[in-house]
Amino acid sequence: MISSPLIPSSILLLLNVDDGDTVTDFMAQERERGITIQSAAVTFDWKGYRINLIDTPGHVDFTLEVERCLRVLDGAVAVFDASAGVEAQTLTVWRQADKHKIPRICFLNKMDKTGASFNYAVESIREKLKAKPLLLQLPIGEGKTFKGVVDVVSKEKLLWNPNSDDGKDFERKPLLEMSDPELLKEITEARNALIEQVADLDDEFADLVLGEFSENFDLLPAEKLQTAVHRVTLAQTAVPVLCGSALKNKGVQPLLDAITMYLPSPEERNYEFLQWYKGDLCALAFKVLHDKQRGPLVFLRIYSGMIKPQLAIHNINGNCTERISRLLLPFADQHVEIPSLTAGNIALTVGLKHTATGDTIVSSKSSALAACRRAEREGEKKHRQNNEAERLLLAGVEIPEPVFFCIIEPPSVAKQPDLDHALKCLQREDPSLKVKLDPDSGQTILCGMGELHIEIIHDRIKREYGLETYLGPLQVAYRETILNSVRATDTLDRTLGDRRHLVTVELEAKSLETSSLLPVIEYAASVAKDLSQASREAIENGLHSACLQGPLLGSPIQDVAITLHSLVIHPGTSTTMISACVSRCLQKALKKADKQILEPLMNLEVTVPGDYLSPVLADLAQRRGNIQEIQTRQDNKVVIGFVPLAEIMGYSTVLRTLTSGSATFALELSNYQAMNPQDQSTLLSQRSGLS
């Protein structure tokens, strides 16, 4: 059996992140900052099992890295700071794991940190994540007194040698009445509570407990309880909780045992699409890296079949065939060449020039067509309406819209092609990075998920591509909408060569009640009946392009419905002219409408010592912050609220000054909200250079 759980966390369990030398944090920026920026894969064996581990970022700017890795996981370990419990970004990642239905284990890390509290962390998992924690371990001591853990299932204590830095030196002893009477009593109660909890969630285990062991739970074998916990974890009705300290590797060995014992192997994950491939190759490309020597490196999760070097593969999304030149097993930035790799593994391939994140890879076009026919037959049997063939494409990842943008310029015009190449490579690696050209100035605009995201991209261009680029001031990605209903008519009449192109359009634009990034397009009955597919596509292209630049700030338009009331097209008119006329007509309508700027509103969570609470609240009030609640977390206060993104730029420096470096904060995009008239007119004045 191959166990293939992958660990989404911002700290690698096997090595010390505090020294900045974590194996999976191999980028220079990661080692300098002591954080994970890019996900990295590590393959290793543990007690006869193959484990593929992926270490992912915890910072909100790199949420997409977590999303695309969760897509290919069989199981996950969520790592918590035992002194903080569930934090803002924990909730985001937990929701992502829920979406992909990933079975999880919780690991309460930093049990040796001052302020660590096992009970507080468990309670926060129960309350904030609405999960049912199964306590498989209890700590022996907390903070400076932490020296080991007790295995609740087997009633054994694990004590680490305090003089051992690598955590290899520890002893496992059974709890005895003579030496540990109080601890044994506490663990017996905890084990009985665990048995009752699992019995409530698993009928098979409940029958066993009530039948053979109802008189004395102590007689219940540990293996039976472990099997039941495994079933409950796979059903995602509860989450096993373990604890330790990754800094000294205390508790890491039992965590690895728990991964192989409780998380699913690839065979235990039921992927519906596999039945259509009948053992043929099916894989998902979930990450692309650029290597100066080898070119693009594509990470593949193999769901069925086998991959070998020199194998020709078919990309369903790109409808192209490519050849894998070399096959590597990933170990962070160290890669071992291998002759083949089977289902359940993570492969690193060299030679795929056109494959991008989210592409589905199969052995050949004929294999895809055969799977398609099987899917269609299955659909006919079940009388399904949807197109089963479409489900051959493995779900890719949803790419969030960027909230920050800035101008990036090369050191000289001669270096512009080098900058374009660097940005193209970085975009292929990181789909959340968007690059566009300003149509007026011709400057390159960089769009990203946050200040840190853009700062890292700028740093990588300098280090990896040797370009000293200039970065303009960060600007907020506003959006625009309209508040009323407006009509407009436009005619485009142009003769090119001996052809006359004539289009007359009448349309209406109105505001939508519900939020929609793309315009909702409707056609009057008189227009719809005679409209060809080519004309319809031309109209929609024109409307979408008009919505890319609003009349106030040139920001994208959202929450707009457009109705085409009249369309007259002269015979021989090209689709390009139709698009241009429709686009110009909509721009005319938008200019006449009552316009509204929408600004990104952020969820903010500030953790601050009680002594500094007042200055932090006063500062947030000046930033148009809206405080929702103030919670108590141990000796700290946690301020939760909303604040406009425009007001929070450079906040980390200000917060550090206000609290003498003792506070931390987390940000996450909540939604876009309408600016009040005063703030809107101030912004427009700033943009037009009047203030």
* CB contact set of 575 (below 8 Å; sequence gap of 6+): 534, 535, 537, 538
Residue type, 658: L
pLDDT digits (tens, 9 = 90+) for 412-428: 889 999 999 899 888 88
Confidence bin at 287 (pLDDT 50/70/90): confident
Three-class secondary structure assignment of 184-213 = HHHHHHHHHHHHHHHHHHCHHHHHHHHHHC
Question: In terms of Cα–Cα distance, which of 624, 622, 616 is closest to 657?
Answer: 616
pLDDT at 394: 57
* CB contact set of 113 (below 8 Å; sequence gap of 6+): 81, 82, 83, 143, 245
Q: Which residues pair with 445 in a beta bridge?
A: 407, 436
pLDDT at 56: 73
Q: Which contiguous run of DSSP H or E holds residue 680?
A: helix 677-687
Q: Where are the beta strands (DSSP E) in 305-377?
A: 306-307, 312-315, 320-323, 326-331, 334-337, 341-342, 346-350, 360-362
Report the distance separating Cα 311 and Cα 339, nearest Å.
11
In the predicted structure, residue 665 carries a pLDDT above the cut 60: yes
Span 8-14, average pLDDT:
29
- Beta 76-81 vs 104-109: how paired, if at all? parallel
Confidence bin at 395 (pLDDT 50/70/90): low
In the predicted structure, residue 383 carries a pLDDT above the cut 60: no
DSSP SS3 for 49: strand
- Beta-carbon neighbour count of residue 113 at 10 Å? 17
Sheet hosting strand 560-569, strand order edge to edge: 486-496, 499-511, 560-569, 520-523
DSSP 428-466: HH-TT-EEEE-TTT--EEEEESSHHHHHHHHHHHHHHH-
Report the distance separating Cα 201 and Cα 583, nearest Å.
58
Asked if 230 contacts 268 with a C-beta cutoff of 8 angstroms, the reply is no
Taking each continuous run of H as one helix and of E as one strand, the counts in the chain are: 18, 34
In the predicted structure, residue 292 carries a pLDDT above the cut 80: no
Rg for the chain, CA atoms, rounded: 29
Confidence bin at 197 (pLDDT 50/70/90): very high
Q: Give me the residue label for tokens 């505001």.
A: 511
Report the distance separating Cα 598 and Cα 600, nearest Å.
7
Span 513-537, average pLDDT:
87
Question: In terms of Cα–Cα distance, which of 26, 92, 97, 91 is closest to 63?
Answer: 92
pLDDT at 663: 83
Buried b (16+ CB within 10 A) or exposed e, 486-525: bebebebeeeeeeeebbbbbbbbbbeeeeeeeebebebee
Instruction: Identify the sign of the CA torsion 203, 207, 213, 216.
Output: positive
| pTM, full prediction | 0.72
* CB contact set of 115 (below 8 Å; sequence gap of 6+): 83, 143, 634, 635
pLDDT at 427: 85
pLDDT digits (tens, 9 = 90+) for 13-60: 332 334 333 333 334 443 444 444 455 677 888 888 888 888 776 555
Distances (CA, A) of 9 to 20, 53, 93, 113, 281: 16, 10, 9, 18, 29
Confidence bin at 488 (pLDDT 50/70/90): very high
pLDDT at 18: 40
